Amino acid sequence: MAIAISQEAFDAMVRENMEDLGMDADEALADAVEALSLQGADLSGIIKRVPGEAAAAEVSPVVRVLDELKASHSSSGGLGQDLDGLVSLIHELRGLCCSGDGSENTAVAVRNGGVEALVGLCASARIEQEKLLASALKALSSMLRDVESTEKFRQSEGPKIVMDILKGGSESSDLLDAGFSVVSAGSAGNEVVKESFMDLKVDELILHVMREKSKANVQSLYDAIRVLLTPDDNRVVASQVYGYSRRFAEIGIAEVLVSALGEKVAPSSLPSACAALKSIAVNDEICRSISENGGIDVLLQCIGEAGEQKNKVIAKSCCSLLSKLAASDANKSVIIQQGGFDRFLKLTSRFSEDPSIIQEVMSMVTVLTLRSPENAARAMEAGYGTLAIQAMQRFPSSGQTQKQACLMIRNLVVRNPENRTMLLNDGAEKLIRKAKGMHGSCRDAASSALRDLGLDNYNA
């Protein structure tokens, strides 16, 4: 981990270089930056200036905007009278954090109290000041990018303040979108913030919003579900998100998401909605309940429409979710009975030059044929043996495509010896050995495929 250093310590080092070592200003500054970098110090957000020559606000536009924002907020008992001016400052701050130098500007803002200032402003504003709140929330979400910033958000009681805004402003699509963007950004990579939101019953709020604002298509809400249910905090050995997923399913969010996929979600939000539902589908019971509520029907329909419209993003999202649901043996039968094999093959024909779609389809078929010789026989009859061969021939440089083809071939032959001869006659052995030699990521899958094809020298 990088060594933390404060602005004061950096300034002191520059001053010491000048006063004790006799360096000129530019040399002292450059030496401090170089020395601290070599020591592994984290200089992100540090304003590289010579102390005494220029104030931080003169060197950094971010500090200038923050100073003006704090001054305006502190006047008139919390919020100044010039709300339009305040909104303009917030827009300027957000623009700086989202610009080409956004990463460094964001770090400067976080080091100089930007998170605390925006949280405090949100706490002071009234729900009726919708434009101000939406602007502040959007700026805050752009500032929450790492554990340092999300911890400051938590310590400032950010989760409670944002939840209060979402509850009070649930009639405003702009506030909902901005508020749930903060839920996503604040929870990403921080297990403690996720826990804070769950303690505040964010799941019940999400269900309420989805039911009451069913046609609002708040994409950030779907993103919030996904982030809250993703174990992405490397500091934590055992995440609690599995239990959160079950809570989301128990109160009915999975059912409402299925309904939204079928009727209400805008195409631009559909991939996010699929990712949200996928994050809830963590066990066999939940996967079966999604199917019983029409989830598989909806996804097969969406896959067909995505193929017709050549919408790769939606096609991949739906296939990925369907692969997750297919982990349930009961769902495997439903997918196949509804013509899944034919639909997926038709999708690959529409995206014949796109290895990413073919990978998703082969992944689904791999799941559908796992421990099921009957499904493997049906897959071979439908043409998936040929698909594997053609994919390996057409995309030799795509390691992921080669690996996924090997995994699918394994399941097609491991319990169906009658399929081995067909694949070997089509040149499977040569293609698998070539993939094994070209791609290190394929070695294990290729060796297993060769073994299950009945070849003795599969490790050669």
Burial class for 77, CB neighbours closer than 10 Å (0-12, 13-18, 19+): exposed
DSSP helix/strand/coil, 41: strand
Residue 16 φ then ψ, to 5°: -65, -40
Q: Where are the domains of the chain?
A: 1-52, 252-351, 379-459
Q: Write down the pLDDT at residue 85.
A: 87
Q: Averaging pLDDT over each range in 36-40, 166-170, 415-419, which range is the top one?
A: 415-419
pLDDT tens, position by position, 16-32 = 999 888 888 889 889 98
In sequence order, which residues have a C-beta less than 8 Å from that of residue 202 and are 6 or more positions away? Answer: 163, 183, 224, 228
pLDDT value at residue 31:
92
In what helix (H) or strand (E) does residue 200 lie, and over which residues does it extend? none
Task: Report the candidate in 441, 371, 364, 369 with the shortest Cα–Cα distance to residue 399.
Answer: 441
Beta strands in 161-262 (DSSP E): none
Quote the CA–CA distance of 367 and 356 in Å, as a whole number: 17
CB atoms within 10 A of CB 388: 29
Per-residue pLDDT of 296-311, as tens digits, reads 999 999 999 999 999 9
Calculate what percentage of the chain has a pLDDT beyond 70.
95
| Token pair belonging to 300 | 């097969």
Burial of 295 (0-12, 13-18, 19+ CB in 10 A): buried
Per-residue pLDDT of 160-219, as tens digits, reads 999 999 999 988 999 999 999 999 999 999 999 999 999 999 999 999 999 987 555 688
Predicted confidence band of residue 45 (pLDDT cuts 50, 70, 90): confident
Distance from C-alpha of 57 to C-alpha of 451, rounded to nearest angstrom: 67
